Structure 1
Amino acid sequence: MNQIVENQFVELIKIHQGIVHKVCGMYRRDHDDRKDLFQEIVIQLWKAFPKFRHEAKVSTWIYQISLNVAISDFRKESRKPIRVELSETITNISDNQYDYSIEEKLAVLYQAIDQLSEIEKAIIMLYFEEKNNEEIAEIIGISQNNVRVKMTRIREKLRTLMANTK
């Protein structure tokens, strides 16, 4: 019986590992940090697996746990002192006269996303995953109306942050 459960879990992770990788990528930029976060999420999924009742979609359950672990990890890491290397500081300096390429616009977008709160990051990530308001509400645990309001505010915040970066 235990081997069957373990095989089911491994298969579930294989199928849905993309979700976990996306969450890790949103909350951690360093490759080793992403790997550590991935491991921690899988451990928490394994611990929660026996309690999973299939009332929600598997992907929703994985998103919920992944985001909770990532946000907890992010909060724990944000309490540590920040060390910024000079090269990173230099890449953050922008020239208003410069015509941004698509890659540079994406870099500016990701810099802006990095400045969002944990919950805002989670919502925008799910939005980029083309989840509808109902799915986002279920995963995050807020009402659909609250999702709409937050998305409007997030879009405006991103516009402002990106405009200030250019």
Structure 2
Amino acid sequence: MPEADHDFAGWITPHLNRLARISRAFAAPADQHDLMQELLISVWKARPAFRGEASPATFIYRVAHNRALTWKRRDTLMGLRFFNARHELADVAADTCREFDQQRLDRLYTAIRQLAPVDRSLMLLSLDGVAYADMSALHGLSENTIGVRLSRARARLVAIVGEMSDGF
């Protein structure tokens, strides 16, 4: 492995779970792998611009969230995505030990995907424990605005998950 690749792998590895959560929140199950690849490519391309003025986590969040906000599904792969989604659902159903928790988690991410893109991003950052000041730097919003948007997003999530539970 070339040294630059090794350096990148070591640099990005602590943040892979966060990138996976971003992918899960911004893409339907069948598209999450594609978005994850897009996020990794975007971070790889942006790495030379990292000046160390912010933490690597903040830099990676900014790049990944910006890419996730602009990511669009490719309509030509819709049939394949439907096929993959059916198989993913079958895999989840087969795992009876984790089925209940997986369903709850799937409902949560389904609800998160219904939020506005910026609110979705803020919610993920909040779930990762990112401080309002860092969120403010990432999105160019005041800390007060961050707090208000998160409060409203949480209320919206509760309502969405409640509506989903009523349907079961």
Same fold (TM over 0.5): yes
Q: TM-score, normalization: structure 2?
A: 0.72
Report the aligned-residue RMSD.
Answer: 3.0
Match of 2:47 among 46, 49, 68: 49
Give the 3 Å change call, closer, same or farther, for CA 162–34 of structure 1 in structure 2.
closer
Q: Indicate yes or no: 2:28 matched with 1:29.
A: yes
Equivalence for 2:143: 144
Deviations 1:75-125 (A, max 9, x none): x22989x8897x98xx9xxxxxxxxx6655444433322211111111111
Distance 1:49 1:29, change over 3 A: same
Instruction: Determine if contact 1:19/1:62 at 8 Å carries over to the other structure.
Output: no
Distance 2:61 2:132 in 1: 15
Change (3 A) 1:47 1:55: same
Deviations along 1:14-52, whole A, 9 cap, x unmatched?
232222222112222335x32222222222212211111
Other-structure match for 1:15 = 14
Give the superposition deviation at 1:147.
Answer: 0.4
Supply the distance in 1 between the matched residues of 2:65 and 2:4 (Cα, whole angstroms): 24
- The separation in 2 between residues aligned to 1:119 and 1:155, in whole angstroms, is 13
1:112–1:161 Cα contact (<8 Å) kept: yes
SS at match of 2:73: helix
Q: Distance in 2 between matches of 1:79 and 1:102?
A: 31
Higher helix share: 2
Amino acid paired to 1:115:
Q
Show structure 1 runs of 5+ residues with no match. 92-100
Unaligned 5+ residue runs, structure 2? 90-99
* Structure-1 separation of matches of 2:41 and 2:102: 34
Cα deviation for residue 161 of structure 1 reads 2.0
Contact 2:69–2:117 (Cα < 8 Å) also in 1:
yes
Partner of 2:94: none
Following superposition, the deviation at residue 12 of structure 1 comes to 0.7
| 1:54, distance to aligned residue in structure 2 (A) | 0.8
Q: 1:41 to 1:107 in 2, by over 3 A?
A: closer
Instruction: Give the match for residue 97 of structure 1.
Output: none
Structure 1 residues 105 and 50, CA gap change in structure 2 (3 angstroms):
closer
The CA deviation at 1:5 is 4.2
d(CA) in 2 for partners of 1:22 and 1:106? 11
Conserved 8 A contact 2:25-2:110: no
* Number of residue-to-residue matches in the alignment: 148
